[in-house]
Amino acid sequence: MARLALHSALTLALLFGLLFAVATAVLYVLEAPLWLALVVALFFAGLQYAISPFIIQWVHKIDWVTPDSIDSGIASLIRSVCHEHGLREPRFGVISDGNPNAFTFGHYPGNARVVITTGLLEVCDTEQRRAVVAHEMGHIIHWDFVVMTVAATVPLILYYIYRFGIRVRSRRDGGVVLLVALGAFVAYLISQYIVLLLSRVREYYADEFSAHTTHNPNALATGLVKIAYGLARSRPPAEKEEQMVTASAGMKPFGIFDATYGKSMAVATAGAYGLTDDGAQATTHAADAMKWDLWNPWAFFMELRSTHPLPAKRIRALGSIAEKMGQARAFVIPDRAPESYWDEFGMDLLASALPLIGLVVGLAVGVGLGFAQAMPVTGFACIALGLGIGWLAKLAFTYPMGRFAPGRVASLVGEIKVSGVRPIPVRLEGQVIGRGIPGLYWGDDLVMQDDSGFILLQYRQPIAVLEFLFGLFRAEGFIGQRVIAEGWYRRAPVPYLELWKVHMPNGDTHTSHNRGLAFLLASLLTAGGLIVALMGMAGQM
């Protein structure tokens, strides 16, 4: 849910960004007064609020259906909530995608839309589906569309005060205005994090609403384990075939489910939490997956920049609600880490900073050997050499090329010493069940399921347009295929596999050239800097 909300926001930002940037540039060139800039900012905020729901409907393949045609439990819950709160029932949509997800959008509670994926129907049991939809209903009841729109307008206004305030620094009172503008910029940065904090708080309230509405907080907790960590597995083939016959008969009239395609999305539960037939082992896998959120230092910093709380914290909060209701927690998570992970975190930061360190060292050497000797070319060559060496060192750390050992999703998500910088080279075998962003017809990321769970496959290429073209024309052909994916398992904070190679059943291999091009550019920079620096020093001698 966090990933889907984030990418919906990014999609809207792309559509509004260009127009907003042009308008800002025009105002700036024309030296418009601050009050006019603020009016324009408020206009754009209002425009985005007004048309965002229509854009979301446009970029996602949503089939609008009646809840009763999908799940009578969901339908009864929606009717009950709306009756209790005097609301009109929201429009209900389904995205035909194996990636389990749900989201809601709209202008106000009276015209809200709730959307789920077919993957959610397959992964979650009846109670978990009700709990997830109740969470979305909580957003509607709490007017979160309006609250977050108003909150997001504040950073926008502060940014405009900063941008248009610094222009008047040359006037008689320019010094005071400049201080105000700089203060507005600091407030703008702080307000961004406050808005994200508000969003995370409202997620907790939506979770609480779900818990009290369903009287089953553990249903949402176990559902989150499946959705957030991918800990769900396929049923045995016989059960899978039987399920598909039933599901296709009920959904096909609405154009949202095809029996042939559906076989790639049969990831319904098996056992207590869909991990294994052994409920104790399922709980262990889930608890292991949550340890990264609670113990890895990267988790804290990444949550600060996230619209949603870390799943483990939400699950822990739901456990507290369950205890207050006289129920046992679904998961018991150890409070104390067995060791400190700050040393790995420090090494990750060092690896991330290696290009900058190389640049600084190269600059220092270049000043002594080049610029101080009136040889600027040699100086710049030393800078390039330092940057290239630092870049190569970082790439070697972030893209280790050892053996891509076979792995399983359930085991990978339990790894704590992993981050967006520190990966695990791994080889996974499974079936592609959907897109990373359900229903987004140009989405380039995919979701793959093995016998223990499912994971996001991040497709990266050196040029962004190549990713777009892959998503638009080729990604659909991967869905339903059984593939072998090689790449680097990372967590930031969502577990994902950054793809290197994908081996198809017909023998074709699709390769990401992102790492290769980066190594090529870093090597050329290093070699070029070294050659020019040596030639310069030789000439000096």
Active-site residue set: 136
Q: What is the pLDDT of residues 359-368, one digit of tens each?
A: 999 999 988 8
Q: What is the pLDDT of residues 178-189, one digit of tens each?
A: 777 788 788 888
Q: Which of 10-14, 165-169, 353-357, 445-449 has the highest mean pLDDT?
A: 353-357
Q: How far apart are CA 179 and CA 157, in angstroms?
A: 17
Looking at residue 155, what is its pLDDT?
84
Tell me if 151 is assigned to some domain: yes
Judge contact between 435 and 492, C-beta under 8 A.
no
Which residue segment(s) compose the domain that 129 sits in? Answer: 2-224
Tell me if 323 is assigned to some domain: no
Looking at residue 247, what is its pLDDT?
32
pTM: 0.81
Judge contact between 91 and 63, C-beta under 8 A.
no
Total number of domains constituting the chain: 3
pLDDT at 436 over 50: yes
Looking at residue 159, what is its pLDDT?
82
Looking at residue 168, what is its pLDDT?
58
379 and 495 assigned to the same domain: no
Tell me if 37 is assigned to some domain: yes
Judge contact between 383 and 258, C-beta under 8 A.
no
Looking at residue 242, what is its pLDDT?
36
Q: How far apart are CA 169 and CA 160, in angstroms?
A: 15
Tell me if 71 is assigned to some domain: yes
Looking at residue 400, what is its pLDDT?
94
Q: What is the pLDDT of residues 259-306, one digit of tens each?
A: 222 222 222 222 233 333 345 666 778 888 899 999 999 999 999 998
Looking at residue 90, what is its pLDDT?
95
39 and 115 assigned to the same domain: yes
Q: What is the pLDDT of residues 403-434, one digit of tens each?
A: 899 999 999 999 999 999 999 999 999 999 99
424 and 479 assigned to the same domain: yes
What are 29's two structure tokens?
């060139």
pLDDT at 258 over 90: no
What are 174's two structure tokens?
């320019």
379 and 452 assigned to the same domain: no
Looking at residue 27, what is its pLDDT?
57
Q: What is the pLDDT of residues 10-27, one digit of tens each?
A: 444 544 554 555 555 555
Q: What is the dihedral of CA 71, 74, 76, 82, to 10 degrees?
A: -140
Of the CA atoms within 13 Å of residue 213, those in its CB half-sphere come to 33
Q: Which of 169-178, 266-275, 449-458 has the highest mean pLDDT?
A: 449-458
CB-based burial, 284-314: b 16+ in 10 Å, e otherwise: bbbbbbbbbbbbbbbbeebbeebbbbbbbbb
pLDDT at 255 over 60: no
**Residue 119 — φ and ψ, nearest 5°?**
-60, -35
78 and 15 assigned to the same domain: yes
Share of the chain above pLDDT 90, in %: 51
Q: What is the pLDDT of residues 206-238, one digit of tens each?
A: 999 999 999 999 999 999 999 988 887 544 333
Q: What is the pLDDT of residues 470-525, one digit of tens each?
A: 888 899 999 999 999 999 999 988 899 999 999 999 999 999 999 999 999 999 99
Looking at residue 25, what is its pLDDT?
58
Integer-rounded Cα radius of gyration of the chain: 26
Q: Return mean pLDDT, the chain.
A: 82
176 and 102 assigned to the same domain: yes
Tell me if 61 is assigned to some domain: yes
Tell me if 333 is assigned to some domain: no
257 pLDDT tier (thresholds 50, 70, 90) = very low
Domain boundary (208, 224, 240) is at 224
62 and 137 assigned to the same domain: yes
Q: What is the pLDDT of residues 36-57, one digit of tens each?
A: 767 777 887 787 788 888 888 8
User: Omega before 493 cis (within 30°)?
Assistant: yes
Q: What is the pLDDT of residues 309-365, one digit of tens each?
A: 999 999 999 999 999 999 999 888 777 888 999 999 999 999 999 999 999 999 999
Tell me if 262 is assigned to some domain: no
Looking at residue 173, what is its pLDDT?
54
Tell me if 349 is assigned to some domain: yes
Looking at residue 253, what is its pLDDT?
25
Judge contact between 142 and 202, C-beta under 8 A.
yes
Share of the chain above pLDDT 70, in %: 81
60 and 142 assigned to the same domain: yes
361 and 469 assigned to the same domain: no
Q: How far apart are CA 241 and CA 236, in angstroms?
A: 9
